[in-house]
Structure 1
Amino acid sequence: MADTARPSPASPPRLLVVDDDADMLRLLSMRLTAAGYHVSAVGSAEAALAQLAIERPQLVLSDVRLPGRDGLALFDEIRTRHPSLPVILLTAHGTIPDAVEATARGVFTYLTKPYDGKELLDKIAQALALSAPPAPAGPTDERWRAGLISRSSRMAELLAEARMIARSDASVLLRGDSGTGKEMLARTIHGASPRAARPFIAVNCGAIPEALLESELFGHMKGAFTDAVANHKGLFQAADGGTLLLDEIGDMPPALQVKLLRVLQEHAVRPLGSSQSVPVDVRILSATHRDLDAAMAAGQFREDLYYRLNVVTLTLPPLAERREDIALLANHFLHKLAGKYGRRLSGFAPEALKALTTAAWPGNVRQLYNVVEQVCALSTTPLVPLALVQRALRVPSIEVLTYAEAKQRFERDYLVGLLKLTDGNVADAARLADRNRTEFYRLLQKHELTPGHFKADPVAEGRHD
Structure 2
Amino acid sequence: MTQTLKILLVDDDADLLKLLSIRLRAARHQVKTATCGEEALALLPHFQPSLVISDLRMDGMDGLALFDSIRRDYPGLPVIILTAHGSIPEAVDATQRGVFGYLTKPFDGSQLLSLVEKAGRLGATTSQDSASPSEEWRSELITRSAVMEEALRQAYLAAETETNILIQSESGTGKELLARAIHRASPRAGGPFVAVNCSAIPETLLESELFGHSKGSFTGATQNRKGLFEEADGGTLFLDEVGDMPLTFQAKLLRALQEGEVRPVGANRSVSVDVRVISATHRDLEQAMAEEQFRADLFYRLNVVRIDLPPLRDRREDIPLLANRFLTQANARNKRQIEGFAPDAIEFMMTAPWPGNVRQLQNLVEHATAICTTAIVPVSLVQRALRHDLTIIPSLADVRERQDREYLENLLRVTEGKVSAAARLAGRNRTEFYKLLRRHHLDPIWFRPSAPDTDDRGAGA
| TM-score range for the pair, normalised by the shorter chain length | 0.5 to 0.7
Indicate the residue corresponding to 2:299 in structure 1: 306
Task: Report if the CA contact (8 A) 1:220-1:271 is conserved.
Answer: yes
Between 307-316 and 152-161, the greater mean CA deviation after superposition: 152-161
CA contact (8 A) 1:199 1:243 kept: yes
Corresponding residue of 1:84: 39
1:297 and 2:252 are equivalent in the alignment? no
Work out whether 1:167 is the aligned partner of 2:163.
Answer: no
Q: Which runs of 5+ in 2 are unaligned?
A: 20-32, 43-59, 79-122, 390-461
**Fraction of identical pairs, as percent:** 53
CA pair 81-313 structure 1, distance change in 2 beyond 3 A: closer
Match of 2:91 in 1: none
Q: Secondary structure of 1:186's match?
A: helix
Is 1:389 the counterpart of 2:382 in the alignment?
yes
Q: Measured at CA, do residues 49 and 148 of structure 1 come closer, stay the same or move farther in structure 2, by a change above 3 Å?
A: closer
CA change 1:127–1:307 in 2 (3 A) is closer
Q: Secondary structure at the match of 1:381?
A: coil
Identify unmatched segments of 5+ residues in structure 1. Answer: 1-10, 17-47, 57-77, 88-106, 109-118, 397-465
AA at the equivalent of 1:191: R
- Superposed, 1:59-70 pairs within 5 Å as none
Determine the C-alpha separation between the residues in 2 that align with 1:194 and 1:360.
38
Q: Equivalent residues in 2 for 1:220-299 (5 A)?
A: 220-299=213-292
Task: State the AA in 1 paired with 2:278.
Answer: L
Partner of 2:136: 143
- Map of 2:207 onto structure 1: 214
- Aligned 1:396-435 pairs, distance under 5 A: none
Task: Give deviations 1:386-406, integer Å, cap 9, x for gaps.
Answer: 11111111189xxxxxxxxxx
- Cα distance in structure 1, aligned partners of 2:147 and 2:354: 18
CA distance in 2, matches of 1:394, 1:52: 42
Q: Kindly provide the amino acid, as one letter, of the partner of residue 139 in structure 2.
A: A
Q: Give the superposition deviation at 1:376.
A: 2.1
Does residue 1:365 correspond to 2:320, yes or no?
A: no
Cα deviations across residues 62-101 of structure 1 (Å, max 9, x unaligned)?
xxxxxxxxxxxxxxxx9976761459xxxxxxxxxxxxxx
Tell me the CA shift for residue 128 of structure 1: 6.6
Q: Which residue of 2 aligns with 1:338?
A: 331
Deviations 1:130-155 (A, max 9, x none): x99xx999663611110101111111
Judged with a 3 Å threshold, the aligned counterparts in structure 2 of structure 1 residues 185 and 218 are, in CA distance, closer, same or farther, namely same
State which of 347, 353, 356 in structure 1 corresponds to 2:349: 356
Q: Distance in 2 between matches of 1:327 and 1:160?
A: 22
**Of 189, 192, 207, which residue of structure 2 is paired with 1:199?**
192
Deviation at 1:55, TM superposition (A): 10
The 1-side partners of 2:194 and 2:331 are apart by 29
Check conservation: 1:85, 1:350, Cα contact below 8 A: no
Q: Structure 1 residues 52, 313: closer, same or farther in 2, change over 3 A? A: farther
| Preserved contact between residue 9 and residue 17 of structure 2 (Cα < 8 Å) | no
Structure 1 residues 234 and 50: alpha-carbon distance in aligned structure 2, compared to 1, 3 A threshold: closer
Q: Is the 8 A contact 1:178 1:364 kept in 2?
A: yes
- 1:315 equivalent to 2:308? Answer yes
When residues 81 and 120 of structure 1 are mapped into structure 2, their CA distance, relative to the original with a 3 A threshold, is: closer
**Contact 1:347–1:382 (Cα < 8 Å) also in 2:** yes
- Check the 8 A contact 1:180/1:317 in 2, yes or no: yes
CA contact (8 A) 1:174 1:314 kept: yes
Asked whether the 8 Å contact 2:37–2:66 carries over to 1, the reply is no
Query: Post-superposition shift, 1:54?
Result: 5.9
Residues 299-338 of structure 1: CA distance to partner in whole angstroms, max 9, x if unpaired? Answer: 1100000000000100000001000100011111111220
When residues 52 and 125 of structure 1 are mapped into structure 2, their CA distance, relative to the original with a 3 A threshold, is farther
Aligned pair in 2 of structure 1 residues 85, 120: CA closer, same or farther (>3 Å)?
closer
Which whole-Å deviations, capped at 9, do the CAs of 1:435-460 have from their partners, x for residues lacking one?
xxxxxxxxxxxxxxxxxxxxxxxxxx
Structure 1 residues 257 and 347, CA gap change in structure 2 (3 angstroms): same
Give the TM-score normalised by the residue count of structure 2: 0.60
Distance in structure 2 (CA, Å) of the matches to 1:79 and 1:302: 58
Would you say the 8 A contact 2:9–2:34 is kept in 1? no
2:175 to 170, 182, 187: 182
Matched pairs, number: 304
Q: Determine the C-alpha separation between the residues in 1 that align with 2:67 and 2:295.
A: 52
Q: Secondary structure at the match of 2:358?
A: helix
- 2 CA distance for matches of 1:343 and 1:147? 22
Q: 1:218 to 1:387 in 2, by over 3 A?
A: same
Q: Deviations over 1:206-260 (max 9, x none)?
A: 1110001110000000111111111110000000000001111111111110000
Residues 232 and 80 of structure 1: CA distance in aligned 2, closer, same or farther (over 3 Å): same
**Which amino acid letter does the alignment assign opposite residue 195 of structure 2?**
A
Are the counterparts in 2 of residues 341 and 376 from structure 1 also a CA contact under 8 Å? no
2-structure distance, mates of 1:272, 1:395: 45
Q: Tell me how large the CA RMSD over aligned residues is.
A: 3.6
CA distance 1:235–1:125, change in 2 (3 Å): same
Distance 1:300 1:332 in 2: 39
